[in-house]
Amino acid sequence: MNVRETADQIGEDAARWVMRIDREGRTPQVEQELKVWASQDPRRAGALLMAEASWGMLDDLGQPQHQTDQKRGAGRPTLTRRTLWAGAGGAIAACAGAASLFILLDQGQVYVTEVGEIRRVPLADRSTMAVNTASQIKVEYSDARRTVVVDSGEAWFQVAKDKTRPFVVSAGDVHVEAVGTAFSVRRREAGADVMVTEGVVQVWVGDSRANAVFITAGSAIYAANTALIRLEPEMPAPTIERKLAWRSGRLDLQGETLQAAVDEFNRYNATPIVVTDPALAQERLYGVFRLDDASGFAQTAAVTLDATISVEGNRILLTRPE
């Protein structure tokens, strides 16, 4: 007679899977073994999601956002997710029930990415959040509302449906509400960009929804803190996916200017690229590039656009020979 696993046993196995994925990566072998494991009990997929969420939380607990990498390296040792996980005896990892995760989130969970870092975070309600480079996102859940605050940077959200708890993202004075949809929010100095990939969202500025507009899939807007909302031209699905290629660490160019491409690359790299020739800056580029390879991009741009590349201090210079 088969003995049914307890929830604690499944949670502990899920925790071990998350640690293995962190150690080995999602190789074909790991993916195949994980698929077999998850298929043997319908509860296992949910346990894995909860364990992944806890793993992401421990990453933030081990790296306080008020400390820089330099300060952490110069002083006391930094706690790691694995240390915290082991120290908790697996209880946090197993996430014995959804309630324990919600308690943490009710107090406000902050996700911070460094320059060049991109994180995909499973949330407690089965929504998913992809956090772009140099971002700080705060997530707070209650019985009546799911609240996300984009303090800086950009994130894309795949929202699980829950009509009893609106999912509201705020970036400064700009607010976006969704029930079950997918969209991105990028905070700017004077407002925010919103792009919808699935479903419909409502966008408004300030405390009143009097100026609220509905944005459907394939649409994008820029909402200023002054309540000015500008609708961008409709975008086909391939264009949207291209603009969100950062989720997989890529920059997909289809005729953007070199300067626009460089501006994007500089968001992800500590070594900035500088275009010294105004005419060269307006040349257009095509291709898909890795966001973590600024040097490779600069070399390709130099060959493609008949430019020269040089290094000056901490900068990569692109120019045209006279």
pTM above 0.85, yes or no: no
Taking only the tens place, the pLDDT of each residue in 261-290 is: 999 999 999 899 999 999 999 999 999 999
Are 198 and 159 contacting, i.e. CB atoms less than 8 angstroms apart?
no
Taking only the tens place, the pLDDT of each residue in 97-122 is: 333 333 333 346 889 999 999 999 88
Look at the block and give the residue holding tokens 């626009």. 260
Burial of 268 (0-12, 13-18, 19+ CB in 10 A): buried
Please enumerate in sequence order all residues whose Cβ is within 8 A of that of 20, keeping only pairs 6 or more positions apart, or say none. 30
Q: What is the pLDDT of residue 73?
A: 41
Domains of the chain: 1-96 (no CATH), 108-235 (2.60.120.1440), 249-319 (3.55.50.30)
